[in-house]
Structure formats: structure tokens, C-alpha cells
A and B are shown apart, each in its own frame.
Chain A
Amino acid sequence: MTEAIFLAAMAARSATVAVVAIVGLRLLGKRQLGSMNIYDLAMIMALANAVQNAMTRGSGHLLVGVVSAATLLAISALVTAVVLRAPRTEGSLVGTPTLLAHDGQLVPAHLRQQGITAEQVMTAVRERGLADLSDTLTVTLEVDGTISVIPKQAQSRRHPHVFPPRLG
């Protein structure tokens, strides 16, 4: 019985830490996994270690580890289930895409808000095979952290064999 109480307490601690980590990462806008630098990676790793004692109370017991891990997995499954059943919550839980540039013009307010630098935008543009921001129609930071680039006249150029030239 007391063992059950202790394990329940560890589950509650793990859940609290997970919620704080999720809310913290969302609030601080660190969702651009696709454009992580090494300092971001070091932060994530250190974060995981920093909360270890807070979750398990420093206990090395196997059962505590299992309960803690199961709690984290359950929360992850719960978030997925909530987003699937109530699509309206997706915006606040997962985030919404952000426009970084439009018609070849950067949107500085959005860059600052998301912590994306102009150089990161240019890298995404070049990785799309374009030389200049003016060749793009839109540059968007997607919710999965990748930066997607839509070039000007995208359709007619990308599928010349699908669309006959006279339609282009």
C-alpha cells in the first residue's frame, strides 16, 4: 500500500515535470527542431538530466523508473489523442505555421518571435535550389520545425512534363 503511494507520487512528479517541459518549450518558441544548432541540442540534453531527480526523487529503483517512463509515454499518447479528437486544440498544443517571408520580403516580427535568423531563412532558400529570397513566394516555418519554401511560378516550373507548356 505504501509502496503504491510512493509510486503514485513518482508518477505525479513525472507528469508535473513533463507538463512544465511541454509548456516551457511551447512558450519559449523552441519548436524549430529542423533548424537546431548544437547549443540547442546541448540545452535539450542538459534539460533531460536536470529534471531527472525531480521526477524520480533520485531513486534508482527499477519500479520507479518504469512508472516514471510509463507516465511520460502515457502523457505523450494523451496529447496525441486530444489533438486527434479535438483538432481545434492543435493550434495551442502543437503550434501553427508561421510566415517568415512573403513576396521576397522577410517578416522581421515573426523571425524574432520564433527565434529564427535571416541566415537560417537564406539557408532554407538555398537548400531549395534558389539563389535569392526574391525568387520565393512564401517562406513558412512549419509546426514540425522545418522551413518550407514556395518558389515563384512553382507549378509551371516543377512539372513541365505534367503540364504542357501552353498551359504554363
Chain B
Amino acid sequence: MTTVWTPTLSSCIPASLLSHPMLGHVFAATSFSRLVFSHPTGRGALVIAGKTSLIYGFLVVGLRLSGKRALGQMNIYDLVLIVVLANAVQNAMVGEDTTLVGGVIAAITLLVCNRLLTTVFTRSARAERLMVGEPVVLVDHGQLVRSHLRREGITQDQIMEALREHEIDDLRKVRLGVLEADGTISVVPTESTTHRTRRHYRGLRIG
């Protein structure tokens, strides 16, 4: 395999290129295939997988403790926090490792950890309530549930706004108003004509 395509760099680059800013750090790699399919040692691979799963666990616990759970209620500062957080943990996951396989191992570890967490949520409604939050009834048969409004920090104006967005002008026409775990407010009208929810609280609407 490697005999077909082995332009040994050290033999074919002029000395002036060896100090080239882009090629300067390529000395270690001697062939194209090694340049592409580089990999850490077996021990290094284990270290990357271990560090990545630790970081994932830390992110989950940290986000849970900071109380940021609802994507729909995310503002621009929360989004910046997530992006910066991801950058902050980069070196802790792969460190100085610049190999292809090292990155792939980190990626697969993250995917598997996330799938495990999702599986826990589908198996245990209790874990889901604890980590993702639970829906809260805000309006019950035309009556505001004031204690819930206070606890969730939702004002009456916000409720009325949600109703108007569902083309309802009167609280009495609402059978059920629910603050969902993702931060949106769903409205079920008294007469069961179907209305589409505007995801007005969802700052980050994907898909």
C-alpha cells in the first residue's frame, strides 16, 4: 500500500522549505499516507477516550447545575457560553494530539456518551425530569395557575402574548396552557380545533 505512494518529504523538499511556516511541523511525517492516517499510541487513544468522556460528564453536570436546560429560552449570551465552553474543553479532550485517529476517537466517544444519556432519558422518566425538566401547567380550564407562573417567572402578559399567537383572544377559551421543558408555551383551546404552536420562545429553531 505505502509503496505505491511514498513521496518522502525529507528527500524531496529543498532545505529552504524546511523552515516554511506551514511545513515546519511536518518533519515527523515522512509519507502521504502517514500524513493522513496518523494515529496515537494505544495508550494515547485510551487517554483521549477517557478524557473526552470525563469532559462530557463535566459538561452535562455543569450545564445542569447552572440551570441552563431549555434551548427555547436560550438567549445570545447562553449561546456564546456554549460555544466558548466547547472551545475551552478542546485541549482537555485531545490535548497536543494532532492525529486523525485521535480526533475520531474523541468524536466517537462524545457520540456514544450522548447516546447513553439519551437512552437513560428514554428508559427513566425520573432522570428526564431531573435533567431536562418537566412541563408545567400555566393555564387550567381558563384559570391562571398563579403559583406556577411565579415559580417559572412567566408574566401574565407573556401568557396573553402566547394566546394571541395562537389566535385566541380570551383566557376563557383556553383548556390548557403548558410551559414545555424546551421553553415553549403550548396552548390547547377549549373547542378542539387544531392550532399550530408558534415557537415564539425558541431562540434557536433548528430543523
Chain A residues close to B by CB (< 8 Å): 1-3, 5-6, 8-9, 12-13, 16-17, 20-21, 24-25, 28-30, 32-43, 45-55, 57-59, 61, 63-64, 111-112, 115-119, 122-123, 126-131, 135, 144-146, 151, 154, 157-158
Contacts and interface: CB of A to CB of B under 8 A. Distances in A.
Contacts of A116: 122
A119 B125 contact: yes
A14 to B, nearest CB: 10
Q: Tell which of A38, A119, A135 has the most Cβ of chain B within 10 Å.
A: A38
Contact of A42 (B9, B60, B90, B100): B60
A145 B182 CA distance: 15
A1 to B, nearest CB: 7
A30 B115 contact: yes
Contacts of A30: 111, 114-115, 118
A158 B193 CA distance: 7
B47 interface: no
B98 A58 contact: yes
Given A6-B35, A28-B114, A123 B122 contact: no
Interface of B: 7, 9, 12-13, 17, 20-23, 25-26, 32, 35-38, 52, 55-56, 59-60, 63, 68-71, 74, 82-83, 85-87, 89-90, 93-94, 96-104, 106-108, 110-115, 117-119, 121-123, 125, 128, 131-132, 134-135, 166, 175-176, 178, 180-182, 184, 186-189, 192-197, 199, 204, 206-207
Contacts of B135: 119, 122-123, 126
A2 B85 contact: no
27 contacts: A5-B32, A9-B32, A9-B35, A9-B36, A25-B111, A28-B111, A28-B114, A30-B114, A33-B206, A41-B204, A46-B59, A46-B93, A51-B106, A52-B103, A53-B102, A53-B103, A54-B94, A54-B98, A63-B22, A117-B121, A123-B184, A127-B180, A127-B184, A127-B199, A128-B197, A157-B192, A158-B194
